[in-house]
Amino acid sequence: MIGWKFAFTRRWAGYLVLTILFAAVCSGLGFWQLARRDEALAEVAKVDANFDATPVPVADALPTLESFDESQKWMPVELTGTYLTDEELLVRNRPLNINPGFEVLTPLLLTDGSVFIVDRGWLPTGEDQDAPDVVPPAPSGQVTVVARLKAGEPSLAGRTASGNQIATINLADVAKRVGEPTYTGAYGLMASENPAPAERPAAVTRPVRDEGPHLSYAFQWFVFGLLAFVGLGWAIRQEYRTVNADDPEERVRAAERLRRKAAKPRSDAEVEDELLDRHR
């Protein structure tokens, strides 16, 4: 009788190592999905805490031009100043509901002499040119704006633009174009402006409160890792039965398995398969 000695051979040790590696990879992917879920929940918490909050003066929210903390994302701030329409910029490659378009950035010269970049909204790409057909003009004169804070974007290699178009909202680059002391820690997605113009670019809507499928994906990866050990155990059991087929005790167990299988009611599909086999 061989018994379980085969399970301690180099071949099965290799199978065990592969199973452990597979399970480790699955566990890593599972924890990665949990981390992604934590990030999504953190974004949901920012929306819940800030999106509908009472606007605060921008100087209180951002004490310096470089100030901004990620916990302030979506926080409404109030600003008073005059739009620098000659310095207006269009941000390329900004889809909305799968439609290509642009975001309109209009610098706002505040009463203290600093400049805050206001994203006034989204416009579709024009019919005959790679630019909006019409850009609704910003209000002239003094205006009071409520905007929701958002961090600037990094420059992306290989993405270029010319004229009054830019590839990303890199606030340091925008500040160089404006040529005035400019807030570079954050810019604002316009919620409202007073006086309000007859037309404005499409406003940013409240983000969907969705944590995504990360929890279910994490559970699936952990299950895959566990099933690897289940599969290894099943393979060991099958080989045990094969290498010990001549052992009297194993013969008795094999006969009992066959008896239980024969006594088990057959499904309709199995009966149909048997009838088809007989008529072939």
pLDDT, residue 246, reads 75
Considering the domain architecture, whether residues 59 and 153 belong to the same structural domain is answered as: yes
Number of domains observed in the structure of the chain: 2
Provide mean pLDDT across the span 118-122: 95
Considering the domain architecture, whether residues 186 and 235 belong to the same structural domain is answered as: no
**Is residue 142 a part of any domain in this protein?**
yes
**Ordered DSSP codes for 211-254:** --SHHHHHHHHHHHHHHHHHHHHHHHHHHHHHHTTTSHHHHHHH
pLDDT, residue 276, reads 62
Considering the domain architecture, whether residues 28 and 98 belong to the same structural domain is answered as: no
pLDDT, residue 1, reads 46
Residue 230 pLDDT greater than 60, yes or no: yes
Rounded to 10°, the helix 10-50/214-243 angle is 170
Considering the domain architecture, whether residues 173 and 75 belong to the same structural domain is answered as: yes
Considering the domain architecture, whether residues 28 and 60 belong to the same structural domain is answered as: no
**Is residue 131 a part of any domain in this protein?**
yes
pLDDT classification of 133: cutoffs 50, 70, 90: confident
State the residue range of the domain holding 157. Answer: 55-194
Considering the domain architecture, whether residues 99 and 177 belong to the same structural domain is answered as: yes
